[in-house]
């Protein structure tokens, strides 16, 4: 299978996928594009001209959640999902909370739509605050059985959660404001196989 992955720096949706691809040692070609200017191919095949975009045997696939589930199906080992149907739904619940309920409102192009005169620098406090208040709300649903986000294994939910947490820090929040997320991040980084595949490992 021929996989090309269009990636932009600082794009947390891309970081989710890089982590998944590398954790599973999937072979792919990475193509770097700009976050502000994604280039003609991404503009043509991604309905909202956003990254990530994947091409599988030349056929485009957008949306990071769809890509994450596709990769899980073609490369099930090491797993980033459970076999039990309800546990799988719980993993998706958290991924979708990040992907659908938290991430879109702070996206650069969304904020630009409502504040066309703002520079990227001016957007940072609003974006950071949105992430902070929603991560605070989400945390009651996390780490209920172990230090992993759902159940007792590393799953794609750990990846979605920790990547968006690190975005909140990039935008100006500090680790002491979200101590449970920081603890989770440090826990993940203490596992070599997890850390080595992480595109933003510290």
Ligand X SMILES: N[C@@H](CCC(=O)N[C@@H](CS)C(=O)NCC(=O)O)C(=O)O
Binding site for ligand X (CB under 6 A): 11-13, 35, 50-52, 63-65, 99, 107-109
Choose between 143 and 157: whose C-beta lies nearer to ligand X.
157
Rg (CA), the chain: 16
d(CA 22, CA 127): 28
Choose between 64 and 153: whose C-beta lies nearer to ligand X.
64
The pair of three-digit structure tokens given for residue 138, joined into one six-digit string: 């989400």
CA-based nearest residue to 91, from 13, 166, 151, 21: 151
Question: Least Å distance between CB 83 and ligand X?
Answer: 25
d(CA 26, CA 126): 36
User: Which backbone phi and psi does 125 adopt, to 5 degrees?
Assistant: -60, -40
Instruction: Burial-class residue 71 by CB neighbours within 10 Å (0-12, 13-18, 19+).
Output: buried
| CA–CA distances in Å: residue 122 to residues 36, 44, 196 | 16, 29, 34
Question: Least Å distance between CB 81 and ligand X?
Answer: 17
Question: Least Å distance between CB 108 and ligand X?
Answer: 5
Choose between 98 and 197: whose C-beta lies nearer to ligand X.
98
Question: Least Å distance between CB 93 and ligand X?
Answer: 16
Question: Least Å distance between CB 52 and ligand X?
Answer: 6
Choose between 49 and 180: whose C-beta lies nearer to ligand X.
49
Choose between 170 and 177: whose C-beta lies nearer to ligand X.
170
Number of C-alpha atoms within 13 angstroms, CB side, residue 171?
24
């Amino acid at each position: 299978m021929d996989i090309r992955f269009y990636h932009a720096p600082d794009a947390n949706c891309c970081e989710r996928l890089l982590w998944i691809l590398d954790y599973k040692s999937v072979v792919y070609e990475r193509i770097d594009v700009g976050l502000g200017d994604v280039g003609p191919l991404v503009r043509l095949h991604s309905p909202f001209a956003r990254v990530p975009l994947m091409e599988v045997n030349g056929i485009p696939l957008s949306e990071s959640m769809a890509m994450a589930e596709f990769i899980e199906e073609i490369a099930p080992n090491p797993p980033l999902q459970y076999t039990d149907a309800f546990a799988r739904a719980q993993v998706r619940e958290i991924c979708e909370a990040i992907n659908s309920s938290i991430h879109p409102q702070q996206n650069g192009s969304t904020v630009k739509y409502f504040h066309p005169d703002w520079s990227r620098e001016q957007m940072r406090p609003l974006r950071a605050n949105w992430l902070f208040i929603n991560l605070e709300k989400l945390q009651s649903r996390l780490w209920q059985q172990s230090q992993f986000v759902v159940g007792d294994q590393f799953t794609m939910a750990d990846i979605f959660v920790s990547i968006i947490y690190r975005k909140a820090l990039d935008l100006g929040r500090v680790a002491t404001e979200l101590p449970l997320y920081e603890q989770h991040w440090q826990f993940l980084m203490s596992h070599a196989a997890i850390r080595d595949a992480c595109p933003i490992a510290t």
